[in-house]
Amino acid sequence: MKRLHGQCHCGAVRVAIEGIEAADLPLRACQCGFCRRHGAVWTSHPQADVTFIGGRLHNYRFGHRQSDYMFCAECGCCVGAAVEIEGARYAIVNITGVDLPGFEGRTPEPWVFDDETPQARAARRKARWSPVDLMQLQPS
Ligand SMILES: [Zn+2]
């Protein structure tokens, strides 16, 4: 199975997605104020394993403060977001922030999540986000 590899601008934080081809991964453009400011385009899939490797991270929480939006502490790229739900970790990858190849020419689907309850949000993330390993990543 093909692995997709991306990294932040300085290369300190790398990401791999394994299990699902790029063509079969969704592309979501969340319309919240944070994601619009970053031009973030997200992907994840419950059958695609995500690994973040190396680098020092800066984490940012907002809204319901359940998930960590992760930035390379060196170059400032937003590489993804991770959340812990019932002891398991899930993540999404910002394909713009890690310059992930394989998505060229596709238009991300706009999503609005403003009206979700915290319970609905956790259920959605559990169903759609990827299982994740955060290897050697230390919050700054
Ligand atoms: Zn970096």
Distance from the alpha carbon of residue 95 to the mean position of ligand 1, in angstroms: 14
Distance from the alpha carbon of residue 9 to the mean position of ligand 1, in angstroms: 5
Burial annotation 28-57 (CB, 10 A radius, 16+ → b, else e): bbbeeeebeebebbbbbbeebbbbbbbbeb
Question: What CATH number corresponds to the domain at position 124?
Answer: 2.170.150.70
Single pTM value for the model: 0.92
Distance from the alpha carbon of residue 75 to the mean position of ligand 1, in angstroms: 4
pLDDT, greater one: 1 or 9: 9
What is the residue range of 67's domain? 3-139
Q: Which two tokens stand for residue 131?
A: 């299982």
What does the pLDDT look like over 78-99, one tens digit per residue?
Answer: 999 999 999 999 999 999 999 9
In the chain, how many domains are there? Answer: 1
Torsions phi, psi of 122, nearest 5? -65, -40
Distance from the alpha carbon of residue 69 to the mean position of ligand 1, in angstroms: 14
Average pLDDT over residues 41-57: 95
129 has pLDDT over 70:
yes
137 has pLDDT over 80:
no
Distance from the alpha carbon of residue 119 to the mean position of ligand 1, in angstroms: 33
Average pLDDT over residues 117-130: 92
Average pLDDT over residues 14-36: 94
Distance from the alpha carbon of residue 62 to the mean position of ligand 1, in angstroms: 22
What does the pLDDT look like over 98-122, one tens digit per residue?
Answer: 999 999 999 999 988 878 888 999 9
Distance from the alpha carbon of residue 14 to the mean position of ligand 1, in angstroms: 9
Q: What is the pLDDT of residue 1?
A: 58
